[in-house]
Structure 1
C-alpha cells in the first residue's frame, strides 16, 4: 500500500491500474524500449513506473515541474524513444530504438560539477541495493516512512518508496509545497521517519515550537551547514544521514548523526577506497559487485571505526594563490551571523590570485556586504575571505535540494543576481 497525501492506494489498486496502463500504452506489445515519464500527479507517475518495470522495460523519471521542451531534451539525451508528458499517448521520439536484455532505471546525473549525463542501472542492481539497505539499516523497521522529496529522484523512489515496500511498510508521500501541512502529517503519523532535503528539514525545524521534535529525520544529497545541522539535530529524536551517487545508488548510511560530515558506514554490497584520516584525504572511489570502480569526485576519508567522512566536492575547491579553500568553511562562518539564513560560496576567476571566493547569501533583513566581510575576517583566514558578496532573496537550489556551485558561478558571471541592499564588495585579500 502507498499513501499519497490524504489518500490510501492498496496493492490491488496499483496492480489493476498498472495492468490497465500497460495495455493502454502498448507496453505489452513492445520488446524493451526506453520510456521517459513526466506526470504532474504522483499516482499517475508511480502507476506507470510499476507497469514499465514489470514489463522489463527501461524508464527515465522526469521531475513533474519540468517544462515540455526541457523534458523532451532530457528524454532524447537519455536515448528514450518514447515520452509520456502528462498523457498516456506517448510521443515517439526520433532516436534509435534500444532493445536491452534487461530493463533499467535511467537517471540524469545532477550536473553539479559538469554537464548532466545519463546513468543506467539494471533492475537487478536496484534490487541488490534495496536488499543491502534493508538488511543493514535496521533502525527504521518500526517507523513509518514519510517521503517529502521528489519521487522521480532515486532518494525518494528507491530509499523512500521501494525500501518501504520491501519492508512491508506503507510509505506516506507528501507534497512539500505547504510545510505546515507536512507538519500536520508528521504529527498524525505513528513514529514517522521523514525522508526530505536539507532545505525542507531546516524549514520544519524552524516552524516546530519549543519542546516538540520530529520522531526521525533522514538527510541526503548535500552537506548540511553547521547552523542548520545543529537546529535539525535538536528537533529530531533520531537523525540519520545517507550518502550516494547516481552511478551506485546509496553508498553509506549513518544511523546516528553527530557531525554533518559523517556520511555513515558503507553498505556491504559495495566497497569504498579513500584517505585514511583528516590529514590523509583522498577521492572517494566506490566499487560495485562487478568490481567496477566509480569515481565520485568527492574528497574524504574513512576513520578507524569505519565511518566515511566527507570533506568537499573536489571540483568545488577554490584555489586562492595556491591555498585550498573549502566552500563549506566559508558558508558555515557566514551562517553564524544572526540574520543570515542561507549561503553559497563558489569560485570566481581573479587575475592576481587565479581564483577568489565569491558569496551569495540570504538573510531575514538587509545586511551590508561590508558587514559580512568584517564578520568573516574574524572567523576565517585571509585567503578564505569572500571578495564578491551579494545578498539575494533565496539561494538557488535544484529540485532535489542540492546547490550547483557551477551553475551559481555561471549565472553570477552573467550578471543574473542582484542585491536589494547594496552593490558587491570587491578587493584583494588582506
Structure 2
C-alpha cells in the first residue's frame, strides 16, 4: 500500500520533542506529579483591557467576514505607531508591515516567498526548530552558524566561507534568543547590516522576546540601525509580550520587497487573522504605549527564583538578561538527553535537552519559566534532590 506521508515530514522539527512528550505521558501515568518547564507557553492571561476588547469584537457581526491576508489597516497602523514609540523606527503601514497568525506562521513561510529550491540560507545553531523546518519545506539548503558560549552566542561572521556568503539568500538570527537567552549589542547589529549589504543578503531577525528583558537592559530593533530597512525584516509576536499565545497574532516589518513577497504567498494560502483578534492586538499595543504594560518583571522574579535556588544546590548558571528561558550548562558525565530523561522520571521536572535545538546545544538544557513561584520553588527543590542523589556527577563551574 502507498504510504501517505511525505519524506520531508521526517525532516521537520526535532524527534526529541516527540520523545519528551512520550516520556511525560509515561511519568504521569505512573502517578508522579509533573512540573513542566519545557514548552515556552505563557501561563498568564492577557490584561483585562485586551480581553474586554476581544469580547466586544467577537460580538460585531461585521468581523465574521473574511479578513485580509495582510491584516487590517487599523492593526498595521497601530504596529507602525508602536514601532515608533518603542524603537524610534518609522514604518509605512501600507508597504512595510504584514500581519501574521503568530510569528511561527511567517517564519515557516518566508523562505518559500523569498528563495528558490537549492538556494542557501544561513541559520543559527542552536536555533528555534522552525528555522530549519522552514527550509525543508522550501527545499533550501541550510548553512549552520555555531553559536557558542565563548563568543557570547554571537555568530562569527568572519568564519563564514566567502563562497557561502555570496550564495546565501538570507541570514536568520534571534536576539534576545530562544533557546539561548543571549542578547546582542548594537555594534553587532551595525556589523551585521554592513555584512548583509556587502553580500546582498536579507537579514531576518526574530525579535519575539524584546519586551522580556531584565536588569534595565532594553533590546533594540535591528531596524534602528542606519540603512537596515534596505536589507532587513523583523518578526514580532504578541504571544509572549502580551500573553496572547492562543490568539495567534504577530507581524513582520521591514524591507518592502520581502514584505510584499510574503504577502503574495500568504494571499494564496489563507485569509489572515480573525478581525476580533486583530482588535485585541490593537488594544494590547495601545495599552503598552499608554501605560508601559510589561510582563518582564514577572519573568525577572521567576528567573531569580530558579537561578538563585539552583546555585544554592551547586548548579551555578549565569543570569540571562532577557526571555522566559534559562540556558543551562549541565553537569559533567551526562548528555543533554540523559539528564532531561532521568530528571523527569526521577523527580517529575520537564526541561528540554539542548540538542533539540541543534548539535551545538549538546551539553545544555533549556528551562522555561512558565510556572508560578510556588511551582518553581518546588521544581528547584526536586532538582536539588535529584542532584544530591547522584554525587558521581560533577558540575562544570
Answer 1 or 2: which has greater strand percent.
1
Q: TM-score interval w.r.t. the shorter chain?
A: 0.3 to 0.5
TM-score, normalised by the number of residues in structure 1: 0.36
Q: Which has the higher contact order (CA 8 A, sep 6+)?
A: 2
Larger Rg: 1
